[in-house]
Amino acid sequence: MKKSFIVIMLFLSALMAVGEDGYNCWLRYVPVENNNLLLSYKQAASEIQVNGTTATIMAARYELSLALKGLLGENIPLTKDIRKNGSILIGNAGFLGEGRKSLANDLQKAGAEGYLILTTSINQKKSILITANTDIGVLYGVFHFIRLLQTRQAIAALHIISAPRLKLRLLNHWDNLNRTVERGYAGFSIWNWHTLPGYVDQRYIDYARMNASTGINGTVLTNVNADATVLTKPYLEKVKALADAFRPYGVKVYLTARFSAPVELGGLKTADPLDPAVQQWWNNKVNEIYSLIPDFGGFLVKANSEGQPGPQNYGRSHADGANMLADAVASHKGIIMWRAFVYSNDLPDDRHKQAYNEFVPLDGKFRKNVMVQVKNGAIDFMPREPFHPLFGAMQKTPVMMEVQVTQEYLGQGTHLVYLSPLFKECLDSDTWSNGKGSTVAKIIDGSLDNHELNGLAGVANIGNDMNWTGHPFGQANWYALGRLSWDHTLSSGQIAEEWLRMTFSNDAAFINDVKIMMLSSREIMVKYMNPCGLHHIMATGHHYGPGPWVNNLARADWNPVYYHKADFAGIGFDRTPSGSNALGQYKAGAKKLWEDSSTCDERYLLWFHHVTWNHPMKSGRTLWNELCHQYNSGVDSVKWMRQVWNKHKTRVDAIRFRQVAMLLEIQEKEAAWWRNACLLYFQTFSKMTIPEKYEKPDQTLDYFKQLKFPFAPGN
């Protein structure tokens, strides 16, 4: 035993010296380093019995064998019968026969996708049973069991029942057919349309594995700014190849539908959703899709938003457009996800209010297989936003939440920002729609308003970079989306610890320090970018750096000056009754948090109020001094993040340590850029000095205004 332990430690030392490329993400199956734990795992996993031969059961068998070989350092034999203690038995509950009756209650709780992991006696031998009502449940259960081993949990007495709280757990890819990715910061699209359908890259299988390991069960392959070409026969055959690759892992394929496709592809003169010829075109197209992909999930639609065509082009409503598509997919059990991200430059009203104003009158008018997909906040994936007022306002309509995993407004690909706290902040927000406790989570999981159709979607941060997400810590946000989609009651800390243990190390000192860094990172970024409720003050096009001075864009609501409204009297967007009254779209219990500038949650102060530069803050500082404090605190905190990371150089493999170290150095410089540019600009209105204790900007305001990044990713 001592010899094997030495071999394992030598292997780990060599691995850390050489480094890892990050390709395996959290599915790294490296040897268990604790000798006693290794022995207990080997005793519990002496053989594997697999019941079933479907592609999904074979995927579960492959994953379990691969993981045990990597973790335990040896091949675990497959057997047809339980022969000794320490067997692992996997298969759907059908193989249990009469034995299923004793597990009936547990299996009922597991439902269609959940699973049961149980330490039990089979043929008088102590065994671990991983079972479910369906094959996909078995696969999810196997991944859960592997996670226990990866995170070094005790497995001597298991009784785990787990079922997803949300039915639709989706990634939304903003990938274009030319392989560019809108707001993508990890290379080009992973979908190589040129070589599909004949060449199915192993990367597609590994993508499905990683999604299944967290419970993600759907992927929208194409950009919401849709291209109708993907609906042509050659491209549908390519989509079929991906769907076939993903199917064993329970990942359904969805597409974005360009509303004008009947005109662009079908030669019709109109795309009016009430025109019988248009309806027939969509019916025919949908039938064609399902003939190739029988389990096709349905369509995600962006319509009448930012120049995209939609039903309003023909004097029709969003419900008219969504229902037309819903009718086309209904007989195939498909769904329509209709995005509520709409705003018009022609309307003088606050952009914060426009989606609510357009969609609330349509509540109850959508078909039962339509979901309205709502961003977590009312503007556009800002570093911090109050929850969208549509949550709780459409009680007759299933509403799903859309979050952004790619960091469009959060430092893009170079900043370490763990997003689970952002997701949880919205999920845990109380809308008061049915009284106290009406959280966003209860709305999107359907429990508050009794909706069977429910879900959560995240805009993917995945590209063809070797490590998938560009920044090594970007993987944590992909992982967090899946885990919270499965169970939104999980804490950000638990998810961070799981991910760190699986992705980097089980070393306690490393976990303790880096988990705190991760949990602090989003708040740190808010401080150096958007403190006190400031929002949408990024530069033009790339959304990368600061540009609070921008006022020359074609649409008023694309300009940062529209949002911060800084003047000599003060700063902030007045959304009270004396201003735009966006507050009027919230229930009284929620409004109470924000309606009075003297008691407003200061994280949202400038979101809802225009206040003077001398406005007193809870810290005892004036608003101006508080802004100076927050911007500087954000920069100082990134310096602290660098110190935390550097402290653990010997605990991380060389390649990934250096990657993160370089990116944190960039983050510190860019945090200072945000601080200096914003304070210099706002100082032109406040006419107040930056307190002496803070570092002074090293360049002039004109210098920052002249910076251009025409080829930045996402521009």
Residues labelled catalytic: 306, 380, 408
355 sits in which H/E element: helix 351-359
Could you tell me which residues come within 8 angstroms of residue 275 by beta carbon, excluding any fewer than 6 positions away? 268
* Interatomic CA distance for residues 321 and 625, integer angstroms: 50
Residues 364-394 as b/e (b if ≥16 CB within 10 A, e otherwise) read: ebbbebbbbbbbbbbbbbbbbbbbbbbbbbb
Q: Where are the beta strands (DSSP E) in 123-212?
A: 125-131, 159-162, 168-172
* Interatomic CA distance for residues 163 and 355, integer angstroms: 33
Determine how β-strand 159-162 pairs with β-strand 611-612: unpaired
Could you tell me which residues come within 8 angstroms of residue 616 by beta carbon, excluding any fewer than 6 positions away? 622, 623
Instruction: Determine phi and psi for 127, rounding to 5 degrees.
Output: -140, 165
- 693 to 472, 556, 622, 696: CA distances (angstroms): 35, 37, 16, 9
Q: Which long-range contacts (CB under 8 A, 24 or more apart) does 327-334 make?
A: 327/279, 327/367, 328/279, 328/282, 328/283, 328/285, 328/286, 329/286, 329/298, 329/299, 329/369, 330/367, 330/369, 332/286, 332/290, 332/296, 333/369, 334/286, 334/290, 334/296, 334/297, 334/298, 334/299, 334/369
CB 312 within 8 A of CB 355: no
CB 398 within 8 A of CB 365: no
* Interatomic CA distance for residues 368 and 376, integer angstroms: 22
Residues 117-152 as b/e (b if ≥16 CB within 10 A, e otherwise) read: bbebebeebbbbbbbbbbbbbbbbbbbbbbbebbeb
* Interatomic CA distance for residues 68 and 178, integer angstroms: 40
- Identify the residue whose tokens are 């306690």: 508
* Interatomic CA distance for residues 373 and 254, integer angstroms: 14
- Identify the residue whose tokens are 């009936």: 104
* Interatomic CA distance for residues 143 and 131, integer angstroms: 12
